[in-house]
Amino acid sequence: MSGFYKECIRMAIHTMKSNKLRTALSVLGVMIGVAALVVILSLGDSVTSNMMSTFSEGGIDVITIMPQKSRNSREVLNESFTSELKSKFQSIEDCIVTNSQNCSFRYMSETLSGNVIGTYSAMDDFYSLKFDSGKWWSLEDNINSRLVCAIGCDVAEKLFPGEDPVGKQMKIFYRNKAGIYTITGVISKTDSTSSISFDGSVFIPFNTFTAKVRRSANVDSYIIRIAEGWDPSVESGKIEEYLSSLVSSDGYMLFSLSSLRETISKGMGTVTMFIALIGGISLLVGGIGIMNIMLVSVAERTKEIGILKAIGAQPVNIEIQFLIEAVFLTLFGGLLGISLGIVLALLVDYILVWPLSVSVVSVFAGLVFSVLVGVFFGVYPARKASRLNPIDALSRD
């Protein structure tokens, strides 16, 4: 049987070569379809792996609520709201508040401006902060409203070049007043893939912040961490629901990386669907094009089919021969499509500054799909060829 298949392949290549333009046009649809397939699968992979690497840095279980100026938000959303939330939701592992204010810092003659953030001592746990030196200030520092601070690495670098700031004192200016704060630690540089950076910030205890920086019961943001075993995006939905029962919808903003991720993947899903649709339609149209060209080929080569039947070709031989031709066409289109798809996927990766990657699965899927399209749309013409009456076929010119 091998000689027969070899001959079929030779004939297939012969027909493709002797009708180059027709071959090129007829595989266009399959090419575009397969290219779309490769792009979808490759980008899908890239998006997932990029999103994973961004969010795995931590923060996926963190929800942030930012009260806004509105009728009743000020009354409800104060510091004690943290304990209310904690008692209401079992899924909340911890909740801290932060207030922030743009201030300037001074050490010796160096001055720098940046964000002063008043928060709880649990903050460093929330964001799994690491320290270049020293450590975070303690719970008691907050209770006693002590003048202590932990500083970001950029602040340390600019105010204390070549020195270890831990134990040193720097001056923080707010509005028309100032305070002298003892530095307890320097926070390590945040990873570049992380979504938030504290490199230029200075952290002080929340009570110190309300006592010294800004005298008000207002809270700029609540940071909630969902305990392990709960779905952060589900919980953020529940918390949002609870909030909206207390405060008008313009009274707060709620962020969570998990819902952000969901939004992104939904957006990606839409894009993917769209490309998949284009790909699917192209494959369908391409397949119909292949069927059409194969029907033309069968009609043109009726005499040849008659000759083959006269010298002993069985119907199945003819059918296989034309099927192989159809599959070769679609495979050719598929290979072009895979190349085009790889180029497009790499281009998108390049433009979005993602690591260049092409999924092996997509190449494999492209091949499988092009063969499937060839078989599916080639069967009818091939069967038609195999059923030709030999004498009718032979008497054709």
Tokens standing for residue 15: 């027909």
For residue 217, the tally of other CB atoms under 10 A from its CB is: 11
Phi, psi of 165 (to 5 degrees): -70, -15
* Binds another protein (CB under 8 A): choice among 113, 314, 352, 361: 314
Q: Does 394 bind another protein (CB under 8 A)?
A: yes
Considering only 186-194, 220-228, 234-242, 306-314, which stretch makes contact with another protein by CB under 8 A?
306-314
Q: Which of residues 176-205 bind another protein (CB under 8 A)?
A: none
| C-beta of 93 vs 304, nearer to another protein | 304
* Binds another protein (CB under 8 A): choice among 6, 88, 135, 238: 6
Binding residues for another protein, how many (CB under 8 A)?
Answer: 25
Name the strand (E) or helix (H) holding 101.
strand 92-107
Q: Does 9 bind another protein (CB under 8 A)?
A: no
Give the closest residue to 361 by CA, choosing from 342, 377, 374.
342
Tokens standing for residue 255: 């962020």
* Binds another protein (CB under 8 A): choice among 161, 162, 229, 312: 312
Per DSSP, helices labelled H in 56-97 are: 73-76, 81-88
Per-residue binder mask for another protein (CB under 8 A), 90-119, x = binder: ------------------------------
| C-beta of 196 vs 316, nearer to another protein | 316
Minimum CB separation of residue 304 from another protein in Å reads 6
Q: Does 311 bind another protein (CB under 8 A)?
A: yes
Contact (CB, 8 A) for 216 and 164: no
Q: Does 130 bind another protein (CB under 8 A)?
A: no
Tokens standing for residue 147: 């003048």
Q: Does 13 bind another protein (CB under 8 A)?
A: no
Per-residue binder mask for another protein (CB under 8 A), 286-305, x = binder: -----------------xx-
How far does CA 279 lie from the centroid of its chain? 21
Minimum CB separation of residue 5 from another protein in Å reads 9
Per-residue binder mask for another protein (CB under 8 A), 14-53, x = binder: x---x-----------------------------------
Q: Does 212 bind another protein (CB under 8 A)?
A: no
The residue type at 378:
G
* Binds another protein (CB under 8 A): choice among 27, 30, 116, 313: 313
CA dist 373 to 34, 184, 222, 234, Å?
10, 67, 55, 41
* Binds another protein (CB under 8 A): choice among 158, 383, 390, 396: 390
Distance CA 377, CA 54 (A): 44
| C-beta of 179 vs 390, nearer to another protein | 390
Tokens standing for residue 314: 């069985």
Phi, psi of 28 (to 5 degrees): -55, -50
Considering only 2-10, 61-69, 135-143, 322-330, which stretch makes contact with another protein by CB under 8 A?
2-10
Distance CA 87, CA 81 (A): 10
The torsion of the CA quartet 315, 320, 322, 327, rounded to 10 degrees, works out to 160
Give the closest residue to 36 by CA, choosing from 279, 298, 330, 262.
279
Minimum CB separation of residue 344 from another protein in Å reads 37
| C-beta of 193 vs 395, nearer to another protein | 395
CA dist 313 to 210, 307, 316, 393, Å?
94, 9, 8, 13
Considering only 65-73, 241-249, 312-320, 359-367, which stretch makes contact with another protein by CB under 8 A?
312-320
Distance CA 198, CA 159 (A): 16
Burial of 104 (0-12, 13-18, 19+ CB in 10 A): middle
Q: Does 263 bind another protein (CB under 8 A)?
A: no
* Binds another protein (CB under 8 A): choice among 60, 307, 346, 371: 307
Name the strand (E) or helix (H) holding 110.
strand 110-119
* Binds another protein (CB under 8 A): choice among 52, 139, 310, 352: 310
| C-beta of 7 vs 163, nearer to another protein | 7
Give the closest residue to 43 by CA, choosing from 350, 289, 345.
345
Residues that bind another protein (CB under 8 A): 1-4, 6-7, 14, 18, 303-304, 306-317, 390-391, 394
